[in-house]
Amino acid sequence: MPIPASTHRLAATALAASTLLLTACGTLTTVPIGDDARAHIHVVSIDPAVKLPAEITFMGTGQGAALLLGGPLVGTLIANKTAAGPKAELAAAMQANHIVLGDILAAEFAKKASEGAGTIKFVVGDAPADAHVELSVVAYGISQAQPLGSALYPLVNVSAVMKTPDGQVVWQATEFAGPHNQDNKVGHTYDEYVKDPELLRQGFVTGSDIASRLLAENFLGHEKAQNVPGIQR
């Protein structure tokens, strides 16, 4: 018996709600940098000790089916329970293949922020600087773009806080790279990620690159509306 279109819409809503929850949890209130503060910043050091959540996020075909059949409440509980095995396998693959998301993210943020910040230089490490940035990963993993979709896309939700040497917060923001971002075009199946962990590494490079670009735009005052899903940038 075909699954009613209304059930598909309900599952899509549940998947969207789960994605929105990942973007909301741990999200910092944006603090735009002032012109005076920006004028006095020439070098920004990025703390290489990026904070990560306790576990990876996984939303695959089985979890999509759970949402499709069980709805937002029961389906979410089942999806979380059935994701435990894949999460453990992905985490083990990252460790075995030295895929360090913190290192990837710090490097991508330094690159993207430096590209658009004009005379301001962003460097990873504890070199003398006019300001210091701490990065925190709110959520990361791989997820479907739609219920029952076999392709899984990288997901990286990042918060950044910039402080002056005296501890004053001069800028902070949170940005999200997920299955619905326009630039997040390359997805793979779960089996492909497990068989070739380099795909996982490249996925996190892509996710970190997108999130870092959005953070850099925020820092420069070029922030645009982003819905997940919905408006994609």
Whether 102 contacts 48, CB under 8 Å: yes
What residue type is assigned to position 9 of the chain? R
| Pair of tokens at residue 185 | 């075009």
- pLDDT by position in tens, the chain (length 233): 444 544 444 444 455 555 555 555 666 788 999 999 988 999 999 999 999 999 999 998 888 788 777 777 777 788 888 899 999 999 999 999 999 999 999 999 999 999 877 789 999 998 899 999 999 999 999 998 876 778 999 999 999 999 999 999 999 999 999 988 888 999 999 999 999 999 999 999 999 999 999 999 999 886 544 444 333 45
Q: For the chain, what is the radius of gyration of the CA atoms? A: 19
- 67 burial type by CB count under 10 A (0-12 exposed, 13-18 middle, 19+ buried): buried
Q: Tell me the CATH number of domain 5-219, given options 3.30.420, 3.40.50, 1.20.144, 1.10.3470.
A: 3.40.50
Whether 91 contacts 55, CB under 8 Å: yes
How is the chain split into domains, by residue range? 5-219
Residues, the chain = 233
Concatenated DSSP letters of 89-128: HHHHHHHHTT--HHHHHHHHHHHHHHHHSTT-EEEESS-S
Between vectors from CA 63 to CA 97 and to CA 72, what angle results, nearest 5°? Answer: 140
- 192 burial type by CB count under 10 A (0-12 exposed, 13-18 middle, 19+ buried): middle
Whether 69 contacts 37, CB under 8 Å: no
Whether 44 contacts 133, CB under 8 Å: yes
Q: Helix or strand or coil: residue 16?
A: helix
